[in-house]
Chain A
Amino acid sequence: EAEVAQSPRYKITEKSQAVAFWCDPISGHATLYWYRQILGQGPELLVQFQDESVVDDSQLPKDRFSAERLKGVDSTLKIQPAELGDSAMYLCASSLKGSGNTIYFGEGSWLTVV
């Protein structure tokens, strides 16, 4: 069964350092999502891509977060500089293009900022 791949699984970084997460969606999935999940809460959308274009990044803290999906396949989410409050799990998900398709999540990248 195809899965969404993410790396790294775990990352510990110091405050003010830069950190990056990578995601490879399920082959053929045109829509890619980055979610942030704080322990005990539901996933919150950070950015949504349709192919290489950003569909929604209204909840992305653009002063420190950036995301790209240059060739419309894999994607990178970057945080610079990291802050203590960024500690969370960063989930990547993907879906087929169009309505009526559910999203499938990767295993997530756990970030701890110290």
Chain B
Amino acid sequence: GENVEQHPSTLSVQEGDSAVIKCTYSDSASNYFPWYKQELGKRPQLIIDIRSNVGEKKDQRIAVTLNKTAKHFSLHITETQPEDSAVYFCAARTSNTGNQFYFGTGTSLTVIP
């Protein structure tokens, strides 16, 4: 099956700085890559996603890049704010085995005011 690795596991940045979280995947049949933000005790919420036919997508302060050749994708948050503090999960969906989603282990982001 698919294997998604996520780095770093923890990340601290000063307010206003940028944060980058990276994920790699193993299954070349994976074709959809969402990112979720999870605040303590709450549900994971989709913040941005990218499909395999696109190299980059941006939504205000958040952007995601995908390198299919290298099988890695990254989340970029610019001008970070304290409310960006949360755990972020990447995921990959493979077209094999019924369109399953595989999640990374999460990155705990802390934005220091």
Contact = CB atoms under 8 A, between A and B. Distances in A.
A44 interface: yes
Interface string A35-59: 0000011111100101000011000
A99 B44 contact: no
B49 A102 contact: yes
A108 interface: yes
A9 to B, nearest CB: 10
A45 B100 contact: yes
Nearest to A42: B103
A48 B98 contact: yes
B46 interface: yes
Contacts of B51: 100
A86 interface: no
B44 A43 contact: yes
Q: How many of chain A's residues touch chain B, expressed as a range? A: 20 to 34
Interface residues of B, number: 27
Listed residue (A50, A98, A100, A103) with the most chain B CB atoms within 10 angstroms of its CB: A103
A23 interface: no
Contact of B97 (A43, A56, A91, A107): A56
Interface string B16-49: 0000000000000001101010000111111001
Contacts of B102: 45
Interface of A: 31, 33, 40-45, 48, 50, 55-56, 91, 98-100, 102-108, 110
